[in-house]
Structure 1
């Protein structure tokens, strides 16, 4: 993971969030901490399964 890309992504998000607030537009993300924590939980859960290299190819099960 590139630190530079991570910092640029954070800055882009901060500027976008500031612009949305300045223009009084609702943000397309959960505006409360529990919603943000849910998104973080999804990411962490994904990375845990990826780390242990387990899983099922769901599309293969469907025959796609």
Structure 2
């Protein structure tokens, strides 16, 4: 797993904004409550960071 580039982050943010605009303009409800969606994303982010951190700890001993 490589580091995420700034371009990837901007592209992801832009895609989210576009999808948000489409959902709002078509009056489609969000597929998940905003808080739960953000909580899920935070969990995914932490999970991605947790495994390399644990591997680093195990390899440093």
The answer to whether the superposition gives a TM-score over 0.5 is yes
Instruction: Show the 5 A alignment for 1:1-64.
Output: 1-28=4-31, 30-33=32-35, 35=36, 36-53=38-55
Q: Alpha carbon RMSD of aligned pairs, Å?
A: 2.0
Show structure 1 runs of 5+ residues with no match. Answer: 55-64
The CA distance in 2 between the partners of 1:24 and 1:10, in whole Å, is 21
Q: Normalising by structure 2, what TM-score?
A: 0.64
Q: State the 4+ residue runs in structure 1 displaced beyond 2 angstroms.
A: none
Summarize the Cα distance change of 1:12–1:42 in structure 2 as closer, same or farther, 3 Å threshold. closer
